[in-house]
Structure 1
Amino acid sequence: MRIRTLLLLSYFVVILLSITLVGTVSFYISYKTMAEKIESASMQVIRQIENNMDNDFHSKRNLMLAPYTDSEYIDGINRYEDMSDQEKFQFRQNIGDLYLKSFNVTPIRDFIRFQIYYSNGELLSSSDARKPWTPSQVRNSEWFRATVAKDGEVFFSGLIVTDEKDTSEVASYSSSIMIRDFSNPDRFIIMRTEYRASLFHSIGLNDNLSENSQIVFLDEDNRLIYESGDHPSSLSESDMLGRVIGKEGKFWTHIGGQEMLVSYTRSGYSNWKAVIITPRVEIFGALDNIKTTVIFTALIAFVITFLISMMFGQRITKPILNLFKSVNRIKRGDFSVRVEVDRNDEIGLIGKNFNAMQDELQTLIETKYLNQIKLQEVELAMLYSQINPHFLYNTLDSIRSMSDYYKVPEISVMAQSLADMFRYNTKNRDEIVTLQEELVQIDAYIQIQSIRFEDKIVYHQMIEEDLYGTPLLKMTLQPLVENAVFHGIERKRGKGNITISAQREQDRIKLTIKDDGVGISERRLNEIREKLKPPMQQAEMNFSAQENGIGITNVYSRYVIRFGDRFNFFIDSKKGVGTEITLIFPPFDV
């Protein structure tokens, strides 16, 4: 496959995935955000509708309680069965006038009529000449029994079923309440009022509902009271009525073949439920437009991609060929990963040459690294045959001074110790020695320094008995102890302690050189730690005895070369407290 064709396909795949991913995520987030906002707004509207309905119902309830304003009416209710016909007529006339005045003084736009019934079902008064029900029909009616059961609270009921021959106006809903003397509960009247649907019409107009949204009111038994709109919503064919339960809620359902959002709340005053039904198309119509726009945008992007790929494919291929030529000129760069070559086009050629360059670089690196190791071995061989000039000069100077002025036995001790150190460095050419041999060398060194500094140095050994024969690299301890003396104890006022300890940790040896000298500053300690790198990572392999001696870097590098990652080296110090150097390494293979 040519690179040009591959680029063309890559462009298509990338753009397809990008547009699909962005479009899907954007659409999903927009959908969820809009759905949450619409559902929240719908619940706020339905709560406001419930509040408006409750306020209206509460006002109508207050009008129905008019007899309680005058004890004469309550007394009349208690004595009604014992009254004469004339007294009964007068009582009916008075209580009817009371309610007529109440409903006329405060006009109610949706009021139709009222009826007042006695506890035996007898009609006491009515606001119009509608054909009355018989006392038996009244007592056996559902609304009458429910009103009595409410025991003084208002009972709201739905559509009133009347005789088909009755030509009077049919009410949309009614309310009824039992009025009585609480001390005489068996004698009471039922005040019943009937209303048109004007209240529900006005609620729908005042709450800014969308054009195709519907308001539905259900009674406490989920029977339909009112449904807005010119066309029915096929509620009887849906499962909506059975799902409208509880105090409030919202859900999606299908009504009349359309997906609808149903939000509802139940009035704590009347137990009626107010329901808003909103078509999905009105909620997400804008999102559908966005989806269409994204699809058209994707098609346009595909066309543009095809044209760009055809125009610039060749130009992209040519730089790749130039890159192949450039790679051949930078073979001396430092690369560590080989290219997997599994193709024969231009990129495959670059990969083959890149790998050839890697092989050449690897050879050069290995050669240079081996040369550095050999150079280090030569330096060490030279160091084994000589003593630090600074140390030698100071020791000889001390011997001369003591010989001239003091003539004390210490001269013999220093001379013998110095001879032992010469003998250890010049005669023993083996690279690996035992811990015991290194400690003998340190004993001689400490004796010399103790005489020089007048017993300022206190030397301790904490060696496990079975570790004296442990193999070490020659000149492991002396450089570290020398650093402790010159950089730690010599600069300290008063005596100083140097402790060498060795112990076994599982299958490895832990060797520690510790002093309580002046310590190392944090800045200098960081510099020393920064120099402690494996030889491959060091910019220069400097083992000059004159410049750095065979100090910390030398000891660290020799052990890293031999053990690699199995060797651990730690240096810790605190200004004014002292320094501790720890070497942890596995047993030597000897």
Structure 2
Amino acid sequence: MRIRTVLLLSYFIVILLSITLVGFVSFYISYTTMSERVESAGLQLVRQIENNMDNDFHSKRNLLLAPYNDQTYIDGINRYIEMNDQEKFQFRQRLGDLYLKSFNVTPIRDFIRFQIYYNNGELLSSSDARKPWTPSQVRNSDWFRETVAKDGEVFFSGSIPQQADEKNAEVAAYASSILIRDYSNPDRFIVVRAEYRTSLFRSIGQNDDLSLSSKIVILDENSRMIYESGDSTDTGLAAELTDRVTGREGKFWMNVDGDKMLASYTKSGYSAWKAVLVTPREEIFGSLDKIKTTVILTALLAFVITFFISVLFGQRITQPILNLYKTVNRIKRGDFSLRVKVDRNDEIGRIGMNFNAMQDELQMLIETKYLNQIKLQEVELAMLYSQINPHFLYNTLDSIRAMSDYYKVEEISIMAQSLADMFRYNTNNKDEIVTLQEELVQIDSYLRIQSIRFEGKIVYRQEIDEELYSASLLKMTLQPLVENAVFHGIERKRGKGTITISVSKEDSRIRLTVADDGVGISDRRLNEIRESLRPPIQQMNEPRPAQENGIGIANVYSRYAIRFGDRFEFHMDSKKGVGTSIMLLFPPFEE
């Protein structure tokens, strides 16, 4: 990933996290604060509605208690059954006038009508010409039984039964009724019932603190809807409130037809009716939605600004690094003529100046040391191809002289022929890369001579995959390793010794192993040899011991390490009294 891309992503991530964190925290705080305020305000409003409703209900109750102010009305109730028709008519007239006067003296804007019933269901008086229910209908009605059960407490009813001939009559929204009697004669009483419009609730709903989308809902004692503000009635809202409005007061969120709403409610301790305020979520958190939109737009704007800033500053930061990268590639290809252009004094400019200085020093080092060392290694390698170990030559000549004393003509012939083959192979400088088969022929000649010298002490084995005889090797790979096995392993061992050459395929590389079961090497000496096997570039300034005047293990290691680098592996293992094993693992030579 390019640095410019990393910077761009970093800017985006930082700004995204910052805006997201600030937006989330601010939105959460605003949401929580606003929610708490709205819920508190909702409860205060419904408490105010409940208070206004209770005050109005108290006033209506007091109007219904008008007969208690005059004992003659109570006496009339007690002896109504014993009255003659004229007395009954006069009593009904006076009772009706009393309530007409009460409702007219204290005007009630939502008042529609009143009826007065005796305990047997007989209609005593009414404020309009409405056709009365039969006594049986009155006695069996829910409101009458509930009023009697209240035993002197006012009963507020939201279910107003309508008679068949009242299609054109004004329908009441609710009614209040009370039982009036002399406590000394409880079986004789009257029930006064007054019916009202929804004017009270409409006036309550015209509160300046209410939003346009909010609704006021009034539920009676049995959670039946009495009033719902607004132009339309929502049946889903009524069903939701009926199930969930319980307890003295509370608040909850609900979903109605896919819209989320907050409902705050209180229950009147006087009438047991519930006042509910329903506010849509959009009405409450509409401003928060604007904040959310503003945050999103701000984030988009920040991303655009970030993009231009990252491009502008990223180019200023990455362009010098890109120039430095191009210069490194030129050096990688061997071109040391290009220098990094330095036109700034910050850290990147200092890196460029130091890189130019390093490049100058590296070029001088290569020209004065590395190239000379390579030439020197080439000369040494050419000399090694044309020479043979003097110690080996002297011993071979001594053996030839000794055998000639005994006139062993056949052995002298074999050694002379093998020695000639080896000289011919070593002095042939035409190819540096040879096949495994050619190397094995050389090793056969070498070991024939050594077998004659050591009188059959050396046992030679090959474990080679058939298809690898044509594999390529560097010339003089096997002889230094086999020679090391002969002189440092088998020669010092009592009795016979075995040298095994193994060549196999390991994944996509060639595995070559030369092992012997000779005397082995001590751990200290083995560590010294391993320490000396380092890349050639690290060995250029190290002096070579005077005794290293032949091709040895270090030379084989260096030649393969120079050619293959990290793709080449070299392992040398040995144990005193057990033997030594040298393994080379390298890729095939390119054609």
Q: Given the two structures, how large is their TM-score scaled by the length of structure 2?
A: 0.54
Equivalent position of 1:300 in the other structure: 301
- Residue identity in the other structure for 1:162: Q
Classify the secondary structure of the residue corresponding to 1:265: strand
**What percentage of residue pairs aligned between the two structures are identical?**
71
Equivalent position of 1:138 in the other structure: 138
Measure, in 1, the Cα distance between the counterparts of 2:104 and 2:354.
Answer: 102
Cα distance change on mapping 1:313 and 1:148 into 2, 3 Å: same
Classify the secondary structure of the residue corresponding to 1:232: coil
Equivalent position of 2:216 in the other structure: 215
Measure, in 2, the Cα distance between the counterparts of 1:26 and 1:151.
Answer: 58
Equivalent position of 2:348 in the other structure: 321
1:194-343 alignment runs, 5 A limit = 194-235=195-236, 238-316=239-317, 319-322=346-349
Measure, in 2, the Cα distance between the counterparts of 1:321 and 1:162.
Answer: 94
1:385-534 alignment runs, 5 A limit = none
Measure, in 2, the Cα distance between the counterparts of 1:326 and 1:195.
Answer: 98
1:99-118 alignment runs, 5 A limit = 99-118=99-118
Equivalent position of 1:467 in the other structure: none
Measure, in 2, the Cα distance between the counterparts of 1:204 and 1:179.
Answer: 33
- Give the C-alpha shift of residue 14 in structure 1: 0.7
Measure, in 2, the Cα distance between the counterparts of 1:239 and 1:213.
Answer: 16
Classify the secondary structure of the residue corresponding to 2:255: strand
Residue deviations 1:425-450 (CA, integer Å, cap 9, x gap): xxxxxxxxxxxxxxxxxxxxxxxxxx
Measure, in 2, the Cα distance between the counterparts of 1:46 and 1:236.
Answer: 17
Equivalent position of 1:400 in the other structure: none
- Residue identity in the other structure for 1:189: I
Classify the secondary structure of the residue corresponding to 1:82: coil
- Residue identity in the other structure for 2:265: Y
Identify the range of structure 1 (209-218 vs 143-152) with the bigger mean alpha-carbon deviation: 209-218
Measure, in 2, the Cα distance between the counterparts of 1:228 and 1:89.
Answer: 43
Classify the secondary structure of the residue corresponding to 2:156: strand
- Give the C-alpha shift of residue 17 in structure 1: 1.1
User: 2:187 aligned with 1:160, yes or no?
Assistant: no
Aligned residue pair count: 328
Equivalent position of 1:59 in the other structure: 59
Cα distance change on mapping 1:237 and 1:246 into 2, 3 Å: closer
- Give the C-alpha shift of residue 315 in structure 1: 3.7
1:528-543 alignment runs, 5 A limit = none
Cα distance change on mapping 1:326 and 1:91 into 2, 3 Å: farther
Classify the secondary structure of the residue corresponding to 2:180: strand
- Give the C-alpha shift of residue 206 in structure 1: 3.0
Classify the secondary structure of the residue corresponding to 1:185: strand
- Give the C-alpha shift of residue 207 in structure 1: 4.9
Residue deviations 1:521-544 (CA, integer Å, cap 9, x gap): xxxxxxxxxxxxxxxxxxxxxxxx
Residue deviations 1:347-397 (CA, integer Å, cap 9, x gap): xxxxxxxxxxxxxxxxxxxxxxxxxxxxxxxxxxxxxxxxxxxxxxxxxxx
Equivalent position of 2:561 in the other structure: none
Residue deviations 1:490-516 (CA, integer Å, cap 9, x gap): xxxxxxxxxxxxxxxxxxxxxxxxxxx
Equivalent position of 1:174 in the other structure: 175
2:261–2:281: 8 Å Cα contact kept in structure 1?
A: yes
What's the Cα RMSD here? 1.9
- Residue identity in the other structure for 2:222: D
Classify the secondary structure of the residue corresponding to 1:80: coil
Cα distance change on mapping 1:19 and 1:266 into 2, 3 Å: same
- Give the C-alpha shift of residue 253 in structure 1: 0.7
2:225–2:238: 8 Å Cα contact kept in structure 1?
A: no
Cα distance change on mapping 1:188 and 1:238 into 2, 3 Å: closer
Residue deviations 1:33-87 (CA, integer Å, cap 9, x gap): 1111111111111100000000000011111111010111111111111111111
Equivalent position of 1:69 in the other structure: 69
1:233–1:256: 8 Å Cα contact kept in structure 2?
A: no
Measure, in 2, the Cα distance between the counterparts of 1:17 and 1:289.
Answer: 20
Measure, in 1, the Cα distance between the counterparts of 2:14 and 2:350.
Answer: 24
Cα distance change on mapping 1:91 and 1:237 into 2, 3 Å: closer
Residue deviations 1:189-243 (CA, integer Å, cap 9, x gap): 0010000111111110135311111111111110111111112223367432110
1:45–1:207: 8 Å Cα contact kept in structure 2?
A: no
Equivalent position of 1:45 in the other structure: 45
Equivalent position of 1:32 in the other structure: 32
- Residue identity in the other structure for 1:141: S
Measure, in 2, the Cα distance between the counterparts of 1:55 and 1:71.
Answer: 27
Cα distance change on mapping 1:266 and 1:125 into 2, 3 Å: same
1:342-421 alignment runs, 5 A limit = none
- Give the C-alpha shift of residue 285 in structure 1: 0.9
Cα distance change on mapping 1:53 and 1:190 into 2, 3 Å: same
- Residue identity in the other structure for 1:200: F
Measure, in 1, the Cα distance between the counterparts of 2:194 and 2:238.
Answer: 32
- Give the C-alpha shift of residue 124 in structure 1: 0.6
Q: Given the two structures, how large is their TM-score scaled by the length of structure 1?
A: 0.54
Cα distance change on mapping 1:237 and 1:178 into 2, 3 Å: closer
- Give the C-alpha shift of residue 320 in structure 1: 3.5
1:77–1:187: 8 Å Cα contact kept in structure 2?
A: yes
- Give the C-alpha shift of residue 28 in structure 1: 1.4
Gaps of 5+ in 1: 329-590
- Give the C-alpha shift of residue 143 in structure 1: 0.3
Measure, in 1, the Cα distance between the counterparts of 2:354 and 2:56.
Answer: 87
Classify the secondary structure of the residue corresponding to 2:109: coil
Measure, in 1, the Cα distance between the counterparts of 2:208 and 2:302.
Answer: 44
Measure, in 1, the Cα distance between the counterparts of 2:19 and 2:208.
Answer: 40
Equivalent position of 1:86 in the other structure: 86
Residue deviations 1:90-117 (CA, integer Å, cap 9, x gap): 1111111111110111111010000000
- Give the C-alpha shift of residue 323 in structure 1: 6.4
Residue deviations 1:386-428 (CA, integer Å, cap 9, x gap): xxxxxxxxxxxxxxxxxxxxxxxxxxxxxxxxxxxxxxxxxxx
1:121–1:135: 8 Å Cα contact kept in structure 2?
A: yes
1:234–1:256: 8 Å Cα contact kept in structure 2?
A: no
Equivalent position of 1:8 in the other structure: 8
Gaps of 5+ in 2: 321-345, 356-591
Classify the secondary structure of the residue corresponding to 2:7: helix
- Residue identity in the other structure for 1:284: F
Measure, in 2, the Cα distance between the counterparts of 1:298 and 1:236.
Answer: 39
